[in-house]
Amino acid sequence: QTADVQMLQTATSIEILAIATYTAALGLPFAGSLPKVVQTFATTTKQQHMDHMSAFSAAVKALGGKAQTNPDPVLLDVVNKAKPGLTGPVPLVELAITLEM
């Protein structure tokens, strides 16, 4: 595969992870009690990641590459380690910042 395809597949895998993480965050027991601005941020950011994933996937396909369907394994480990500590808004926002950086 070309370097372009590999970079786009990596970008897609990061977007897949972000989508799954924001989806899980919005389903946490305390998510409904988060300030409206935080809920809006999470929902909007999730949609933006979905848009990015679609664009990267289309570019991979246009270049003849194989579709990427799995999340980035390194960042998945970060998310999995953070999950038990997602008991309130502060750790949730800290995880979002980590992923966005």
Instruction: Write down the pLDDT at residue 62.
Output: 97
Instruction: Write down the pLDDT at residue 55.
Output: 98
Instruction: Write down the pLDDT at residue 93.
Output: 85
Phi, psi of 58 (to 5 degrees): -65, -40
How far apart CA 83 and CA 95 sit, in angstroms, is 9
Residues of the chain with pLDDT under 70: none
End-to-end Cα spacing for the chain: 27
Instruction: Write down the pLDDT at residue 68.
Output: 95
Instruction: Write down the pLDDT at residue 18.
Output: 94
pLDDT tens for each residue of 71-86: 999 999 999 999 999 9
Instruction: Write down the pLDDT at residue 58.
Output: 98
Residue 16: C-alpha distances to residues 27, 77, 83, 89 (Å): 17, 14, 17, 22
